[in-house]
A and B are shown apart, each in its own frame.
Chain A
Amino acid sequence: MTNTFYKAFSSEQYKLSKNKEIFGIFLIPAFVILAITSYIAYDAISSGVAESSANPWKYALGRYVFMFFYLLYPVLVCLFVHACCDVEYRNNNYKILFTIPVSKSKIFFSKALFILITVLLSILLSYIVFLGSGYLLSAIFPDLGYQNYDYREVIFYVFLKFYITLSAIAMVQLALSLIFKNFIYPIGFGMFMLLFTAMVKDKEFSDFLVYTGGYKSLENFLNENIPFERLDYCNIAAVFIFVVVSFYLFVRRKRS
């Protein structure tokens, strides 16, 4: 029996995990956190540790990391999602994909699930490295005061909301990558939307733009904003809406 979701997912996972971009989405965010941690450690060594009542999770590690993440992570997601589609565009490999004895719907949902799982694992890795970095700093430099604050709940919710945002961005980018063969259009659109939403982030309609979530995660972190808001619900809805749109585009796409 070839036409099973398990086989479709296993084959997609095998093929897509050979993309170099997958290392980018896993390793670059972790590297950014480690680089910032190293900088904080270097600063503590070279300038000395000043007494401060401010929460270092929030104003040191978190602020720097999310200043990078809100722009960098969505770009990495855009590149990764496009790479997952590009593998089929190269060499006209849709001919392989549509002549294997697996239904198109199973192939599509395998692809979409693989993207969502990869983003989730990447966020999980970043979350673990972030927490680990804070604990490491608290162990090596107790004077920095990381051990004085229990910020785990805020960190968890900020990363969770950020994952929802990235999932929504991934599904929008999947739809775009299924429409445009050339990477310029989906990646360009993603970049434009990131800059545009940074400008309009305070407008009410910005909650309906999935790309706003990146910048909002920085604000969430600094304002200790845990509850789910309209933006988060819109992003959850966007994941489902764009999965359906992408499914339609995938099934209806010209196969020759």
Chain B
Amino acid sequence: MESIRTQDLSYTIGSKTILNNISLNVPEGSIYGYLGRNGAGKSTTIKLLLGLLEESNDKIFIQNKSLKQHRTEILSSTGNLIESPCFYTKLTVFENLKYLDIIYGKGTKRIDEVLELVDLHKEKKKKASALSMGMKQRLGIAMAIFHDPKLLILDEPLNGLDPQGIFEMRKLFQNLNDQGKTIFLSSHILSELEKTATHIGIIEGGKMVFQGTKNQLLSQVEREIILKVNNGEKAISILQKTFSASQNEPNKISVKINDDPEFNLLLKTMIGNGIEIYDIESQSANLEQIFINLISKKS
């Protein structure tokens, strides 16, 4: 079942198309990384998903319910953090959560629990305006998870956090995900998304250019295999007939392959031609390279 589903979602401002037929499928229980360049349409998508921008054609479904028809019901099980963290600057950290408690009725115990989770319990009496950038971000996250939502929609939640903070947030997101919560996450820190996301969606110029599991995305691009062999000259002359291969050092050959069957064929070719293999090193492209590849192809 999908936690978020959109059907050909489009959004225009005047004559400018911001989103063009976006069909999001965010599986329940996943951590969905939503990637795109600045101005690609990420924040617009998120604002539409939360009803902060109006979409008149009833094309957004969250937990199988139409956002247009069940707005308050959906919002009661959705937590969010959009762009910069929002909180009332004149209230203390505790009072900001107390404000939410009045609405959700979770109790003071839950306030302490959440403050403990985001490591803000020592700052609970501090005015929100007096917090550091990283602490403000933590408060934003505390407010997003306060009511124990099934779905979290987070836009750049790691902004302003130091490496320790990023590590702790990653752990928190993984814990929340382990508890069965779906996390829809937009971030420009691709290395972080690579570590946490199970699914990836890439948007460019208002259009989806990829959507699927992280493994599907990683398998879309060539892998580079570096082989240490006994006879580099012989190996390169044989491999260049079938593969895209190059000789880096006298006995080191670099071969680009697309998938596992091709890797199997590579090994068979080598062994079949009597070439001895001493070492195999596999270099996969990372998310950043894939993202840049996809975006540059598109543009």
Contact = CB atoms under 8 A, between A and B. Distances in A.
Interface of A: 2-3, 7-8, 10-11, 14-15, 18-20, 87, 90-93, 95-96, 98-103, 255-256
A11 B95 CA distance: 11
Given A2-B103, A7-B102, A18 B90 contact: yes
B53 interface: yes
A116 B51 CA distance: 30
Contacts of B76: 2-3, 101
B72 A102 contact: yes
B99 A14 contact: yes
22 contacts: A2-B104, A3-B76, A7-B103, A7-B105, A11-B99, A11-B102, A18-B88, A18-B90, A18-B91, A87-B90, A91-B84, A91-B87, A93-B86, A96-B86, A96-B87, A98-B52, A99-B75, A103-B72, A255-B52, A255-B53, A256-B52, A256-B53
Contacts of B281: none
B142 to A, nearest CB: 13
Contact of A15 (B50, B74, B91): B91
Contact of A92 (B72, B78, B86, B90): B86
Contacts of A95: 52, 82, 86
Given A2-B76, A11-B103, 10 more contacts: A2-B103, A7-B103, A7-B105, A8-B103, A93-B87, A95-B82, A96-B143, A100-B103, A101-B72, A103-B72
B45 to A, nearest CB: 12
B147 to A, nearest CB: 8
Contacts, number: 75
Nearest to B92: A18
B104 A91 contact: no
Given A2-B76, A18-B95, A256-B52, A101 B86 contact: no
A14 B98 CA distance: 9
Interface band, chain B? 20 to 34
Interface of B: 47, 50-53, 72-76, 78, 80, 82, 84, 86-91, 95, 98-100, 102-105, 143
Contacts of A96: 86-88, 143
A18 B92 CA distance: 10
A44 B3 CA distance: 77
Contacts of B53: 255-256
A85 to B, nearest CB: 13
A91 B72 contact: no
A11 to B, nearest CB: 4
A11 B104 CA distance: 10
B87 A99 contact: no
Given A2-B72, A101-B76, A14 B102 contact: yes
Nearest to B80: A99
B73 A101 contact: yes
A11 B103 CA distance: 7
Contacts of A10: 102
A102 B103 CA distance: 8
A61 B105 CA distance: 49
A15 B88 contact: yes
Task: List 8 A-B pairs, minimum CB-CB distance, nearest first.
Answer: A101-B76, A101-B75, A11-B102, A101-B72, A3-B72, A255-B52, A95-B86, A96-B86
B86 A91 contact: yes
Contacts of B103: 2, 7-8, 11, 100-102
